[in-house]
Amino acid sequence: MRFTVAIDGPAAAGKGTIGRALAARFGFAHLDTGLLYRAVGALGGDPVAAAVGLRAEDLARDDLRSMAAGQAASQVAVIPEVRAALVDFQRRFARAEGGAVLDGRDIGTVICPEAEVKLYVTASAEVRAHRRWLEVGGDAGRVLSEVIERDARDMGRAEAPLRAASDALLIDTSDMAIAAAIAAAVAAVEARL
CATH number at residue 109: 3.40.50.300
Identity at 131, one-letter amino acid code: R
Residue 49 near residue 24, CB atoms below 8 Å: no
Q: Is 11 annotated as a binding residue?
A: yes
Q: What's the confidence (pLDDT) of residue 57?
A: 85
Q: What's the confidence (pLDDT) of residue 104?
A: 93
Q: Is 14 annotated as a binding residue?
A: yes
pLDDT confidence band for 92 (50 / 70 / 90): confident
Nearest-5° Cα angle at 101, 128 to 144 = 10
| Domain membership of residue 112 as a residue range | 4-192
Domain total in the chain:
1
Q: What's the confidence (pLDDT) of residue 90?
A: 92
Please tell me the pTM assigned to this model: 0.86
**How does pLDDT run across 124-181, given as a tens digit for each residue?**
999 999 999 998 899 999 999 999 999 998 899 888 899 999 999 999 999 999 999 9
**How does pLDDT run across 24-47, given as a tens digit for each residue?**
999 999 999 889 999 999 999 999
pLDDT confidence band for 3 (50 / 70 / 90): very high
Handedness of CA 69, 71, 77, 82 (dihedral sign): negative
Q: Is 10 annotated as a binding residue?
A: yes
pLDDT confidence band for 123 (50 / 70 / 90): very high
Q: Is 15 annotated as a binding residue?
A: yes
150-158, Cβ contacts within 8 angstroms, sequence gap of 24 or more: 150/10, 150/11, 150/70, 150/71, 150/74, 151/10, 151/11, 151/125, 153/74, 153/75, 153/78, 154/10, 154/11, 154/74, 154/77, 154/105, 157/77, 157/78, 158/78
